[in-house]
Amino acid sequence: MNNEVYKQLYDQMNLGNKSVLVTNLSTPSTPSKSIPKKFLISTEALLNQKFDDHLPKQVYEKAAQTLETGILEFIQIAEEYFLIEPYFPEPQLIIFGAGHIAMPLAEFGSRAGFTVTVIDDRPSFANHQRFPTAQKVICESFEKCFDLINIHPLTFIVIVTRGHRHDMDCLRQVLNYQTAYTGMIGSKRRVKGVMEKMREEGFSQEQLDSVNSPIGFSIGAVTPDEIAFSIIAEVISYRRFSNFKKENSINKKQHWPEYDPDVINELATDDDSPKAIITIVKTKGSVPRKEGAKMIVWPYGKLLGSIGGGCSEGTVITTARDVIATGGYQFQRVDMTGIVAEDEGMACGGIMDVIIEYFE
């Protein structure tokens, strides 16, 4: 069943692994109440070329491409259509230290789309009252806290503890992981001393070079808020650009796919009631949401997720109810340009192509 595929996808996201979800859509002459077939392809399978006969070779080639670009593909092979969607886990920001800089940093990180975890060994600092926007606040020693967190290649690490010794305790362990970003606060003199000590302890120059320290962009920051701005700006640059380098004036921008955790979680449940999945597959111009955004429509009016809200969803929801009645799938274009946008009072002015598919 397709919900099993979504269960696997949800598990992979929680483990911090990238995956590709392939939906095999048959021709418009689809029999009534048919359900498009779905397949999950792991990063490991693509790297090791562990392919089976369920899908054409071109699909696997496109799947590998989507993991590189972060952009979904919608292709036709013979009489079949394939929706190939890359899924990247939500980027997590782990902040070691819960002092004055950590407070605005956690807030800015949450607003920028990161799942934020704050760690400190002081109960009066490490609490949800102090960090209301953080998903997790862990009160534990910096030596033992690593058993309570999951660091993976899409984890962004910021070390801003209250002291030199605690910074080193955190960095020693962080350097044993592959991360998307590692930054440590400190003056140039202090950082130099830490790096020399780490080198003496056997850490390689390559490991030490991966640490952004002093941390943040140089904007003349003085206050905790300003310092937090400089740090989160640097973190975002590592998220949005592949192989980002501060000294490089030309960095290749990396697309981060739209990901709706609540929608994926719902599709992974054992609920077999009929519903329709709406997915944006192509956009042009100014639109509320980009390729990959999803929503679910139930026949009795319940909705989950969004492809933009308001008028951009109205006609699509009507079509979705038709698909629930007939099965299969339909394409639909949502035009928010020109007179249409003006008449409806819409702020956007673009075009979205969506696929509406039956699911149960």
pLDDT per residue over 250-277, tens digit each?
456 667 787 788 999 999 998 889 999 9
CATH number of 92-252: 3.90.550.50, 3.30.43.10, 3.40.50.720, 3.90.1150.10?
A: 3.40.50.720
- Count the Cβ atoms, other than its own, within 10 Å of residue 73: 21
246 has pLDDT over 90? no
Length of the chain: 360
Q: Which of 84, 13, 16, 19 is nearest to 45 (CA)?
A: 19
The token pair that represents 181 in the structure block:
């970003």
Contact in structure between 99 and 125 (CB atoms under 8 Å): yes
Contact in structure between 255 and 73 (CB atoms under 8 Å): no
Q: Which helix (H) or strand (E) holds 315?
A: helix 311-326
pTM of the model: 0.78
Q: Which of 134, 225, 237 is nearest to 180 (CA)?
A: 237
Q: According to CATH, where is 3.40.50.720 located in the chain?
A: 92-252
Contact in structure between 191 and 184 (CB atoms under 8 Å): yes
Name the pLDDT band for 29 (thresholds 50, 70, 90).
Answer: very low
Residue 299 DSSP code: T
Range scoring the smallest mean pLDDT among 24-38, 132-146, 306-320: 24-38
Contact in structure between 228 and 105 (CB atoms under 8 Å): yes
DSSP states of 91-123: PEEEEE--STTHHHHHHHHHHTT-EEEEEES-T
Range scoring the smallest mean pLDDT among 118-122, 177-181, 280-284, 349-353: 349-353
Contact in structure between 293 and 304 (CB atoms under 8 Å): no
